[in-house]
Structure 1
Amino acid sequence: MTSALTEQLPIDLGDANSGAIVPPTQFSDLSFSFSVSQNIDDVEPVWRALEAQGIHSPGQSFDFIKLWVEARKIASNNQFYVVGYAGGEPIALLPLHRKAVKGVRLFTWFPGANVGAYAPLVDVDRLRQMSPTQRQALWKGMSRMLPSADLIYLRAVPIETANAGRLFDELGTLQPFETLYRSQYGSWEECDRLQRSKSRRKHDRQQGERLEALGEVSFEEVRSGPETTSIIDTMFTQRSARFKAMGIRDTFVVERLTDFYHQAAQPGTGVDVRLHVLRLENEIVAVRYNVVWGKAMYCLISSMSADPHIQGGSPGKQCLLRVMKSVFGEEIGEFDMGAGFTDEKRHWCNVQVPLSQHYMPLSARGAMVLATHQWIQRSKGKIKANKALMKALRRPIQLFNRVFCGPSDAS
């Protein structure tokens, strides 16, 4: 495998050689070697073996990322799949997209904020047994396999890995990011008992009655098939109306992402898409676009009708209530609602996962970008924590986004 990967290395990798063994004396009793490919199929066996140990989001799924690369038509010379080996056994995989953003050459995850969290694919037990110095050497060795650039930027990495502690602390420089919100229950009855007070149940019932007073209400789960096309079209139409009302750009349209979500919902992709659909008089009034992996369901997109006539019935909340009633049981034990705080997450989520951003500067410009980006993130955090300041800056920020923010500048 290593020799095959070596033949695919681009000519600008400098002195790094795919599969070269790091001298054991440098990293105590471990011998590291590394390989890199620009073809995702080359690393499929390694990826699937590491993925089988568990993932944090669809952003770590081989099928999801392969479809993303194909649907987004990402050139092979901008795809990099770096594998780290210990004693000849694969222990870590970094799938990276090379981009040029505002003149900065960087490596980052393939999707952006399209899923809640990302992380390297790793052999959890082997990584946990390493010392911090050894893990730092592993990540640095993997970074040296990449061609010249300014920065490795890895967003939304869980600070702790379940039952394994902080495995990614040595992955460059860390900056606290956001929080990921999840619901974990063994049954709907447990969820209902722990998350809904008597007043909450009464409020939900009253909203449901107002919606039902407008006509027949129905709810269903739709899986891959021809029906998904019209449902997803409606979902994006509802999202666009919501973005317009909020005065912000529609990233799904501007960045031409809608085709990917349509393709993912078709049979044979390996991505288990499930749409939860709420209808009023057979018209779609709310949709939730979910991906299932193992016993976890990840909500990637949600929408609801902007029709003021039905807002009193809160179709979005009624849809989510029915989702919560239907998902927990033998098959699904975890429902991931993504990063960032909202009322629905406050109402339903009993697990919070802190996320961090990781930076590995590869040049002087990259170090400067790191310092600037960290300052921006800290400033944003202070603004979000100050309601008066947030309110004062909301309109200037919306105006800035409309004037200056276009599609991602990626090469």
Structure 2
Amino acid sequence: MSSETALLKQPLAIANEPVTTAQSLAAERDQFGFSVRLFHHIEDVETIWRALEGQSVESPGQSYDFIKLWIQTRRIASQNQFFVVGYHEDRPVALMPLHRKTVKGVRLYTWFPGANVGAYSPLTDLMSVVAMSADMRKTLWTRMTSHLPPADLMYLRAMPVEVGGVGGIFDSLGTSLEFETLYRSHYSSWAECDQLQRSKSRRKHDRQQGERLDAMGAVRFEDVRAGPETHTIIATMFNQRSARFKAMGIPDTFVRENLVAFYHAAAQPGSGVDVRLHVLRLNGDIVAVRYNVVHGDKMFCLISSMSADLAIQNGSPGKQCLLRVMQTVFDEGFRTFDMGAGFTDEKRHWCNVQIPLRQHYVPLSARGDVVLGAHQLIQRTRVRIKANRTLMGVMRWPGQLWNRVTGTPSNHSSE
């Protein structure tokens, strides 16, 4: 029996929550026994959230501690925090954490961290929601999304087509567009991973790269938890990423959107977020970093970096760091290593699980209908461009031209 199937056979124990601090949205039960309430403070839904979180977490975006810290460090006002709880027979069965914001004049309800994690979905009592009929699920999602204060659009990005191994439970949540894929490695051990993912030629290639890196000096791999050196490692990681963004001719979104402080805060003792830093050093210098968040037996890689020093690129420090990660995480008890959305060479080498992601939209005004159509058109165009090498080359050409004009070296590594 899979862990996902076992979850469906376990009852979820959640006590009926007092609603004295909640705003009633649709407190009267409908014909299916559904009611909905709205909260503006994450602490008011902690008991519900943690119980639902224990069912199946597909992303740090579903973690109570991760989102609480995000709200605190981003200083999001309580009036822009919306925690919508759906009840069935007065028992909480679904929770949607939403951030109300205005983007280019459009009033949105959306997930809190945006594109900073690979996937999202409402938290659910999985057993109860799976047992519902399609009409019941449609009613639940409609009631949860139709009683919020006025806005133009609910934009729920990057939702997996299946959660906890079960698909279809969000099919009736607004309209959707499949746009991306989530990549994961799922193995019982390093031996299984090695056997299934590495051919004889791949092992030889990895060994040759390792030998070239070893020839440059002392190589050391570290698994770093919250502690005194985490600030230095994270600062180095973001410096490496900034250098790479500059070489690619694109803006550094982490700096531009003031996101660096959050990742420092998450890695500190007492944050509630289990951050693991995988670090590769050459002669004591940090040459590659992977920033991961752990939840249960799943590890999610949120950010990775490597040195832009062309002198060491022949040793492929990024790939060598990831090789050591794969050699350790599965034998430490992890069963899933999530590498996020979007295809890369490293995901082709290591990931044996691919989960389609959808953008879900719920229009809430006439303007929202117009924005929905325009955004879906943009997303479809992006998918076509990414699938066409010629078009991708055209889109990258301005950045490559900038590098040539300014003399900025391009990053030739595929890592």
- Do these two structures clear the TM 0.5 threshold for a shared fold by scoring above it? yes
The aligned counterpart of 1:360 is 362
Instruction: Tell me which amino acid in the other structure corresponds to 1:366.
Output: G
Kept in 2, the 8 Å contact 1:36–1:81? The answer is yes
The aligned counterpart of 2:168 is 166
- SS of residue paired to 1:329: helix
The aligned counterpart of 2:252 is 250
For 1:127-166, list aligned pairs within 5 A: 127-166=129-168
The aligned counterpart of 1:105 is 107
Which of the numbers 96, 111, 119 marks the counterpart of 1:117? Answer: 119
Alpha-carbon RMSD across the aligned residues, in angstroms, is 1.5
Kept in 2, the 8 Å contact 1:82–1:145? The answer is no
The aligned counterpart of 2:242 is 240
The CA distance in 1 between the partners of 2:162 and 2:55, in whole Å, is: 15
The aligned counterpart of 1:305 is 307
Kept in 2, the 8 Å contact 1:5–1:18? The answer is no
The CA distance in 2 between the partners of 1:165 and 1:191, in whole Å, is: 25
- SS of residue paired to 2:391: helix
The aligned counterpart of 1:22 is 29
Instruction: Tell me which amino acid in the other structure corresponds to 2:119.
Output: A
Kept in 1, the 8 Å contact 2:56–2:164? The answer is no
TM-score (norm 1): 0.92
Q: Percent of aligned pairs with the same residue?
A: 65
Q: Map Cα deviations across residues 30-60 of structure 1 (whole Å, 9 max, x no partner).
A: 2111110110000000000000001101000
The aligned counterpart of 1:87 is 89
The CA distance in 2 between the partners of 1:321 and 1:203, in whole Å, is: 12
TM-score (norm 2): 0.91
The CA distance in 2 between the partners of 1:135 and 1:297, in whole Å, is: 30
User: How far did 1:235 drift?
Assistant: 0.2
For 1:346-357, list aligned pairs within 5 A: 346-357=348-359
For 1:167-316, list aligned pairs within 5 A: 167-316=169-318
Kept in 1, the 8 Å contact 2:83–2:97? The answer is yes
Q: Map Cα deviations across residues 117-172 of structure 1 (whole Å, 9 max, x no partner).
A: 00000011111111122111111111133110000000000012233221100110
Which of the numbers 43, 58, 62 marks the counterpart of 1:60? Answer: 62
User: How far did 1:309 drift?
Assistant: 0.4
Q: Map Cα deviations across residues 158-200 of structure 1 (whole Å, 9 max, x no partner).
A: 0122332211001100100200000011111111111001111
The CA distance in 2 between the partners of 1:294 and 1:353, in whole Å, is: 20
The aligned counterpart of 2:43 is 41
Kept in 2, the 8 Å contact 1:36–1:145? The answer is no
User: How far did 1:390 drift?
Assistant: 1.5
Kept in 2, the 8 Å contact 1:296–1:336? The answer is yes
The aligned counterpart of 2:12 is none
User: How far did 1:379 drift?
Assistant: 1.0
The CA distance in 2 between the partners of 1:210 and 1:189, in whole Å, is: 24
Ranges in structure 1 where 5+ consecutive residues have no aligned partner: 10-16, 25-29, 401-411
Aligned residues: 386
User: How far did 1:215 drift?
Assistant: 0.6
Structure 2 residue 324 is the aligned partner of structure 1 residue 322: yes
The aligned counterpart of 2:14 is none
Residues 1:107 and 1:216: Cα distance change in structure 2 (over 3 Å): same
The CA distance in 1 between the partners of 2:323 and 2:166, in whole Å, is: 33
Q: Map Cα deviations across residues 234-272 of structure 1 (whole Å, 9 max, x no partner).
A: 000000000000011101000000000000000111110
- SS of residue paired to 1:379: helix
The CA distance in 2 between the partners of 1:191 and 1:115, in whole Å, is: 24
- SS of residue paired to 2:163: coil
The CA distance in 2 between the partners of 1:20 and 1:399, in whole Å, is: 59
Structure 2 residue 11 is the aligned partner of structure 1 residue 4: no
Q: Map Cα deviations across residues 306-336 of structure 1 (whole Å, 9 max, x no partner).
A: 0000000000000000000010025211100
Instruction: Tell me which amino acid in the other structure corresponds to 1:210.
Output: R
The CA distance in 1 between the partners of 2:165 and 2:303, in whole Å, is: 29
The CA distance in 2 between the partners of 1:282 and 1:330, in whole Å, is: 25
User: How far did 1:357 drift?
Assistant: 0.5
Ranges in structure 2 where 5+ consecutive residues have no aligned partner: 1-16, 403-415
The aligned counterpart of 2:339 is 337
The aligned counterpart of 1:378 is 380
Instruction: Tell me which amino acid in the other structure corresponds to 1:384.
Output: K
The CA distance in 2 between the partners of 1:349 and 1:163, in whole Å, is: 17
